[in-house]
Structures are given as structure tokens and as C-alpha cells.
């Protein structure tokens, strides 16, 4: 863990957490001065009634002085496509929205950040901003965005409700593009575990593994610090104890509530220690090539990448074991081996994906896989040697 190097810690989003807490949304927006709110979501959440549930909260609390939902856009696509962001941008202007409510998983929450950024900068084509694959800004160039913005996650995995970064798919090039800009994150996050009760076990497992990957990459990062550890280690310990309960009984509200908190903690630790992220590097590449959902990509790759890059993980073997509630006695080599085996057994316990067969990954695509991993923006932090990429790809393809 870094002890003397420079690091920056920021957590700007105010978190409101309790089952049933969506009832607070109108008053929270009123407190921020919002008048005309745009609700962003996706077709699946519209179909299962969650979008209508949110709408009813505003209808039941409507009065002359309360903010109003002036538009509902439930058409955000998986991977937060640039076309969907552009369409939502146009719709936001059409209804004269002055505030954003994002309800959904990572794609919806990221798309909302794109809409917010686009409105702030008067963009008509969001693709122009991220077409190079990575757009990063920092303060003071990046100025506060005064558009009231609340995020309501419906999965416990991405942590996108509190992160100042987002990933988008450029449909024209097939590239996953990254936007990392202060103030694009939500002003407030409302963690309501009741919204996750209907989540199927396989999605509970994959999104939970996404959160665990954030936590463990935070622990293993060369940029880890005491602030990031406070989030990363506790998040991983909580996930190790709680995710199997949430998968086994989807109506366990306490387990769901714990997982939502763990997901938010995990992304904070991940961002606060952000440097080398080899698992995410590979996950981005497989996601782009085979349209593997990000949670499934991380679920498959976590033990595979750790096994392929022992020299990267060995210095943090004891810390990783501690993060997984394991005994920390023994050599680093033995502890790392035990950590990898624990993750593999955890995969079996929760029933998540362990390879990419169902998405059509194959070793015959090795050249494309190597290129995708080597050219992903995350490779700038830690370039994975080609022979290790090949080893990872062979195992991941199954």
C-alpha cells in the first residue's frame, strides 16, 4: 500500500439509504431547487413496474410548490450507447428539464452523466466528446455543474451512483469510451433495497461480483491508501459474507441493503486508489468484443487475471486475504494461492459465470483479444505482457 505517494480523495455525493427511501425524492429535489425533472431509465425497468413506481411517488406528493416530472425516457440502451445519450439529450431539451433523476443499473446511471455533461456544455452530439476512447478533465478546468441530479441504483454492483466516471459504447466504432470528469456524479444517491428485491439470482450474482472486483482491485492497487482501504476492505468483507445470502433469498431485505452499501463503498475505494486495474482492463476488452455484461466479465476474469499476474498481487496477498475474511498467516505465495481458490469457490457458491463460452469467445480470436486488451485506456496504468494476455484469454474462453 502506498504510504508516502500523492493521492486525492473525494466523495461528493450525499448518500440516503433505507428500504423505502425513494419516498424522499420529491423533497430532495425541492431542496436543490429543481422544478422540472427528467426521469431516465430503461425498457426492462419500465416493464417490471419500477419506473411507474417512481412516477407514482411524484404524483402522490404533487403540489404547487413541489418539483414535477416533466418527462420519462425509459429507452437507455445497454452499455449506455452514445446514440441513446444523444436521444435523451434532445428529449431533455424538448421538455425543458432542469434536473435529472436516473433510475437503473450502471448503463442508465452512466447515461445520465452523459446527458448532464451534454446539457452543461450545450452539446448536440455527445460522441464527439468521447470518440477518442478517453476524456479526462480535472479541476479547475472542470467546473461545478449546477443541474440537480439524483441517482437511484436498482442493482448492487457498479457503484455508478457516486462515481465521477462513466463508460459509454460508441456504436459506430464498437469501442467502450470513458468519461472521467469531476461533478458529473450525482449530487445525491438514494439506496433503496426494495428496488432490488425482484432482481434475479444470476443478476444479483454478477452485479455483486462487479462490486467485489472494484473492492479487490482497490486493495491491490499501487495507489491504495488509508482512505481507499477504509472503503475497499470493508466492502469486500461485507460482500463475502452477504452476497451468498442475497443470491439464495432474493427477498432478504437486510442482505440486499448490505449489498447496496457495499457496492457504493467498493466504487469509492476503487476510485480513490485508481492506478493499475488489470481485471477491468480485460473486462472492457471482452465486453467490447463479445458484448459481455460488465458484471459477468469481471466475475469470470477476477481469479483468472490474479492467477496470470502473481507478481502484481503478491505484495498485497495478506491484505487481499483479510479483505476476504481469511486467515492471514502464511507466506505471500500461499496466501495468494488461497485467495484465488477462495474466489473460485465463491463463484461456485453464488452460481456466477466462470468463462465466456455463452458469449461466443474463442481462442481463434486471439489477435483481436490481445489488441483489445492492449489498446484499452486502462492499459496505460499497467500494460499486461502479451504472453499473459494469451494465458488469460485461453482460460476465459473456456
The mean pLDDT value for 178-197 works out to: 96
- 60 pLDDT band (50/70/90 cuts)? confident
**Using an 8 Å Cβ cutoff, are 173 and 130 in contact?**
no
* Residue % of the chain over a pLDDT of 90: 87
Tell me: the pLDDT tens digits for 282-332? 999 999 899 999 999 999 999 999 999 999 999 999 999 999 999 999 999
Tell me: the pLDDT tens digits for 199-257? 999 999 999 999 999 999 999 999 999 999 999 999 999 999 999 999 999 999 999 99
Task: Record the pTM.
Answer: 0.94
Residues β-bridged to residue 169: 81, 176
CA–CA gap between residue 84 and residue 297 (Å, rounded): 23
Tell me: the pLDDT tens digits for 362-397? 999 999 999 999 998 889 889 999 999 999 999 999
N- to C-terminal Cα separation, the chain:
33
pLDDT at 64 over 80: no
**Using an 8 Å Cβ cutoff, are 192 and 21 in contact?**
yes
Q: Which residues contact 200 (CB under 8 A, 6 or more apart)?
A: 250
- 62 pLDDT band (50/70/90 cuts)? low
Phi and psi at 221, nearest 5°, equal -65, 140
CA–CA gap between residue 181 and residue 380 (Å, rounded): 18
Tell me: the pLDDT tens digits for 126-172? 999 998 788 989 888 889 999 999 999 999 999 999 999 999 988 88
Instruction: State residue 79's pLDDT score.
Output: 86
Instruction: State residue 5's pLDDT score.
Output: 79
Instruction: State residue 367's pLDDT score.
Output: 96
pLDDT at 50 over 70: yes
Instruction: State residue 371's pLDDT score.
Output: 96
Task: Give me the sign of the Cα torsion angle 333, 5, 209, 388.
Answer: negative
pLDDT at 70 over 70: yes
The overall average pLDDT reported for the chain is 95
pLDDT at 1 over 90: no
Q: Looking up cell 469531476, which residue turns up?
A: 182
Q: Grid coordinates representing 54?
A: 417512481
**Using an 8 Å Cβ cutoff, are 247 and 201 in contact?**
yes
- As to burial, measured by CB atoms within 10 angstroms (0-12 exposed, 13-18 middle, 19+ buried), residue 268 is buried
Residue 177: strand, helix, or coil: strand
Instruction: State residue 159's pLDDT score.
Output: 96
Q: Which domains does the chain have, with CATH numbers?
A: 14-196 (3.40.50.1970), 201-397 (1.20.1090.10)
Give the C-alpha distances (Å, rounded to integers) separating 386 from 179, 222, 279, 291, 351. Answer: 27, 21, 15, 22, 30
Work out the angle between the directed axes of helices 386-397 and 294-308 (0-180°, nearest 10): 130
CA–CA gap between residue 247 and residue 264 (Å, rounded): 18
Q: Grid coordinates representing 272?
A: 480513490
Amino acid at each position: 500500500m502506498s504510504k508516502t505517494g500523492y493521492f486525492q480523495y473525494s466523495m461528493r455525493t450525499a448518500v440516503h439509504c433505507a428500504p423505502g427511501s425513494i419516498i424522499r425524492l420529491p423533497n430532495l429535489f425541492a431542496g436543490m431547487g429543481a422544478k422540472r425533472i427528467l426521469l431516465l431509465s430503461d425498457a426492462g425497468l419500465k416493464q417490471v413496474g419500477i419506473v411507474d413506481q417512481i412516477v407514482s411517488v411524484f404524483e402522490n406528493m404533487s403540489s404547487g410548490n413541489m418539483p414535477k416530472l416533466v418527462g420519462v425516457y425509459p429507452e437507455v440502451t445497454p452499455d449506455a450507447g452514445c446514440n441513446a445519450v444523444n436521444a435523451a439529450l434532445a428529449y431533455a431539451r424538448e421538455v425543458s428539464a432542469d434536473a435529472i433523476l436516473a433510475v437503473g443499473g450502471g448503463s442508465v446511471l452512466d447515461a445520465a452523466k452523459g446527458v448532464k455533461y451534454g446539457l452543461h456544455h450545450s452539446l448536440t452530439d455527445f460522441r464527439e466528446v468521447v470518440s477518442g476512447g478517453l476524456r479526462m478533465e480535472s479541476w479547475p478546468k472542470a467546473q461545478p455543474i449546477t443541474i440537480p441530479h439524483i441517482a437511484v441504483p436498482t442493482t448492487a454492483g457498479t457503484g455508478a451512483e457516486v462515481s465521477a466516471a462513466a463508460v459509454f459504447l460508441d456504436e459506430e466504432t464498437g469501442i467502450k469510451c470513458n468519461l472521467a470528469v469531476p461533478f458529473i456524479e450525482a449530487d445525491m444517491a438514494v439506496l433503496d433495497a426494495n428496488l432490488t428485491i425482484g432482481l434475479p439470482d444470476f443478476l444479483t450474482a454478477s452485479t455483486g461480483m462487479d462490486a467485489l472486483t472494484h473492492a479487490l482491485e482497490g486493495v491491490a492497487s499501487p495507489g491504495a491508501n488509508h482512505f481507499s482501504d477504509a472503503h475497499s476492505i470493508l466492502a469486500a468483507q461485507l460482500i463475502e459474507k452477504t452476497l451468498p445470502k442475497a443470491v439464495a433469498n432474493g427477498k432478504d431485505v437486510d442482505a440486499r441493503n448490505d449489498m447496496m452499501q457495499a457496492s457504493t463503498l467498493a466504487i469509492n475505494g476503487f476510485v480513490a486508489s485508481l492506478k493499475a486495474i488489470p481485471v477491468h482492463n480485460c473486462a472492457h476488452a471482452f465486453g467490447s468484443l463479445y458484448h459481455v455484461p460488465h458484471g459477468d466479465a469481471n466475475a469470470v476474469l477476477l481469479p483468472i487475471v490474479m492467477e496470470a499476474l502473481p507478481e502484481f498481487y503478491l505484495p498485497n496477498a495478506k491484505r487481499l486475504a483479510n479483505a476476504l475474511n481469511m486467515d492471514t498467516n502464511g507466506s505471500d505465495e500461499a496466501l495468494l494461492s488461497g485467495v484465488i481458490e477462495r474466489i473460485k469457490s465463491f463463484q461456485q457458491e453464488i452460481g456466477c459465470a466462470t468463462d465466456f463460452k455463452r458469449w461466443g469467445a474463442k481462442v481463434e480470436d486471439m489477435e483481436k483479444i490481445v489488441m483489445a486488451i492492449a489498446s484499452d485506456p486502462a492499459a496505460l496504468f499497467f500494460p499486461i505482457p502479451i504472453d499473459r494476455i494469451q494465458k488469460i484469454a485461453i482460460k476465459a474462453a473456456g
